[in-house]
């Protein structure tokens, strides 16, 4: 079980973000906060664009903010986050932007104030490498890329 206490996030509204809502959870069970665009932009089919949010944040050490697609935009229009989830590190102090790509067949218009992505606050666990001469055996072994089955067109 994890804590349900909110993680305090310091946010600075940039001049072009004035008048826009701060990222917010749409429902009590939502994992991500909807974030809105601080600009008008049209993304052509196949194009990518870093959409300004008008916000800069200070994330506590030991956390990150993940930038994730909005499922409705992905399903209905083919708009997604190409590096999903994008990561905002705790030491970054620049403007939060949502990198979007248009996988649809039509240009996609974004207007200032439109919800464009979700922000998920997540803990970060640091790893350390331990070089070894061999790895322990598992039932799966070196099987990858479809080796566990479940896709009819792959023959398994």
pTM: 0.88
Number of independent structural domains in the chain:
1
Contact 65, 57 (CB under 8 A): yes
The answer, yes or no, to whether residue 156 has pLDDT greater than 90, is no
pLDDT of residue 76: 97
pLDDT of residue 142: 85
Q: Categorize the per-residue pLDDT at 154 as very low, low, confident or very high, splitting at 50, 70 and 90.
A: low
How far apart, in whole angstroms, are the C-alpha atoms of residue 65 and residue 118?
10
State pLDDT tens for residues 60-102: 999 999 999 999 999 999 999 999 999 999 999 999 999 999 9
The answer to whether position 68 is within a domain reads: yes
| Sign of CA pseudo-dihedral 72, 78, 79, 81 | positive
The answer to whether position 144 is within a domain reads: no
**Structural domain harbouring 92:** 10-123
CATH number at residue 40: 2.70.40.10
Closest C-alpha to 53, from 29, 79, 75, 22: 22
DSSP 8-state secondary structure symbol assigned to residue 17: G
Average pLDDT over all residues of the chain: 93
How far apart, in whole angstroms, are the C-alpha atoms of residue 156 and residue 146?
8
């Amino acid at each position: 079980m994890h804590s349900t206490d909110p993680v305090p996030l310091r946010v600075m509204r940039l001049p072009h973000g004035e008048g826009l809502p701060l990222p917010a959870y749409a429902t009590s069970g939502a994992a991500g906060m909807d974030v809105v665009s601080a600009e008008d932009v049209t993304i052509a089919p196949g194009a990518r664009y870093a959409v300004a949010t008008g916000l800069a944040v200070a994330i506590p050490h030991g956390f990150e903010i993940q930038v994730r697609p909005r499922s409705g935009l992905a399903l209905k229009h083919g708009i997604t986050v190409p590096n999903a989830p994008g990561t905002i590190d705790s030491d970054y102090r620049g403007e939060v932007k949502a990198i979007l790509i248009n996988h649809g067949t039509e240009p996609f218009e974004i207007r200032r104030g439109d919800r464009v992505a979700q922000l998920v606050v997540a803990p970060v666990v640091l790893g350390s490498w331990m070089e070894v001469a061999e790895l322990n055996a598992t039932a799966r072994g070196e099987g990858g890329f479809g080796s566990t089955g479940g896709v009819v067109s792959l023959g398994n």
